């Protein structure tokens, strides 16, 4: 049974309830002062606490998508993150499965669209990763057969799971509702996690001598998607949006790759890459690379590109509020900046679900 399955969560809850009931039932029999009675009480209390905390942890992980598997949880992710392939003429994309979208009429792609599970292999970076592509219903209709669609790269935080983007954050469902209401154009959403070399958090950096994460996500992924779907690759054809680490990456891609990404939206984003045990040494003494990865430094020292940027934060509950105000103040024409500011909201799915509808509508408007 997988870490995120409902059966594992139900089993943990049932065990917790049974142990709690057993503790209440057996407590009078273990009321003595003998070593056996004391050890019995300790054992029952310990087991009950463990199962309760395990149930809470499994429920939180299922809701927020922190870890995708047991191997991911224990830092033993086995799926290779780096593929060395020097012969491919272009980035490659292969569809490995499909699933319906949980919307009215979702069983029919021409009504509800479709979520396609794909594997992307990068030519420039040598990296490979799984992604989920939301293909809007208009793509499957005869009237859209000759149409070129816009696309958005949608990124989770770290460690995150791509499934959380459509299960927890509901990007496809939100995009479907907004397009149906005429508030955004139909777009393909390429949903991924930025952790392409697990368990390391590379912060969408081209690590010297290591994973070229920025190249993979900002160049290889759009190239592979455009080679398989009817989407363009020119200026203003692509946008990027993400939360937490994914938000930092989305803003960075718009600033670093304006010829590809016309807009970038960062929800609860950081503005520079951290240095901690999950990242390791990302820059290996390359001061130029380190400075460019600091978005506040970039806005102060690099020519502003003609892109649109959106930042979202909360006055109470987010620790990036002050940095977000600083980021807004540093944006200069021809770059443009917009913001979403909540009165209160933590660094969690509930906050991001409140921001995603407005952010998608904004992104669609900037890519017309």
Query: Considering only CA atoms, which of 152, 160, 170 is closest in space to residue 193?
Result: 160
- State the pLDDT at residue 153: 98
Boundaries of every domain in the chain: 6-64, 78-366
- State the pLDDT at residue 236: 81
- State the pLDDT at residue 90: 62
* Residue 198 DSSP one-character state: T
- State the pLDDT at residue 294: 97
d(CA 91, CA 119): 11
CATH code for residues 78-366: 3.40.50.1820
- State the pLDDT at residue 252: 98
- State the pLDDT at residue 240: 98
Integer CA distances (angstroms), 211 to 128, 201, 290, 295, in order:
11, 10, 15, 21
DSSP strand E in 58-179: where? 92-99, 114-121, 128-135, 150-155
Contact 121/91 with Cβ under 8 angstroms?
yes
Mean pLDDT by 10 residues, the chain (368 residues): 77 87 80 78 86 85 70 63 52 93 94 97 95 97 90 95 95 97 97 93 95 96 96 87 97 96 96 93 95 97 97 95 97 97 94 97 93
- State the pLDDT at residue 80: 54
Contacting residues for 181 by C-beta, under 8 A, at least 6 apart? none
- State the pLDDT at residue 42: 86
Specify the pTM. 0.79
- State the pLDDT at residue 109: 96
């Amino acid at each position: 049974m997988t870490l995120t399955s409902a059966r594992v969560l139900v089993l943990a809850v049932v065990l917790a309830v049974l142990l709690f009931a057993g503790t209440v039932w057996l407590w009078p029999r273990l009321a003595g002062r003998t070593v056996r009675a004391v050890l019995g009480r300790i054992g029952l209390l310990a087991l009950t606490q463990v199962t309760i905390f395990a149930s809470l942890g499994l429920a939180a992980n299922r809701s927020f998508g922190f870890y995708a598997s047991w191997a991911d949880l224990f830092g033993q992710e086995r799926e290779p993150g780096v593929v060395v392939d020097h012969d491919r003429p272009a980035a490659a994309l292969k569809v490995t499965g499909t699933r319906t979208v949980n919307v009215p009429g979702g069983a029919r792609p021409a009504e509800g669209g479709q979520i396609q599970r794909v594997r992307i292999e990068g030519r420039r970076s040598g990296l490979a990763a799984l992604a989920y592509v939301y293909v809007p219903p208009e793509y499957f209709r005869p009237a859209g057969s000759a149409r070129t669609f816009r696309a958005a790269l949608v990124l989770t935080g770290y460690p995150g799971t791509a499934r959380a983007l459509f299960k927890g954050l509901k990007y496809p469902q939100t995009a479907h509702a907004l397009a149906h209401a005429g508030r955004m154009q139909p777009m393909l959403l390429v949903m991924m996690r930025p952790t392409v070399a697990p368990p390391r958090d590379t912060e969408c950096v081209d690590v010297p001598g290591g994973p070229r994460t920025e190249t993979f996500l900002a160049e290889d992924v759009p190239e592979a998607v455009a080679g398989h779907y009817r989407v363009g690759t020119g200026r203003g054809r692509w946008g990027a949006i993400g939360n937490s680490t994914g938000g930092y990456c989305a803003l960075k891609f718009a600033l670093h790759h304006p010829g590809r990404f016309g807009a970038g939206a960062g929800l609860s984003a950081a503005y520079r890459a951290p240095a901690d045990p999950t990242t390791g040494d990302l820059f290996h003494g390359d001061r130029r690379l380190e400075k460019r990865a600091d978005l506040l430094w970039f806005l102060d020292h690099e020519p502003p590109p003609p892109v649109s940027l959106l930042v979202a934060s909360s006055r109470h509950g987010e620790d990036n509020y002050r940095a977000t105000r600083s980021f807004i103040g540093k944006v200069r024409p021809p770059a443009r900046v917009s913001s979403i500011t909540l009165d209160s909201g933590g660094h969690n799915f509930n906050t991001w679900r409140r921001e995603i509808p407005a952010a998608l509508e904004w992104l669609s408007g900037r890519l017309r």
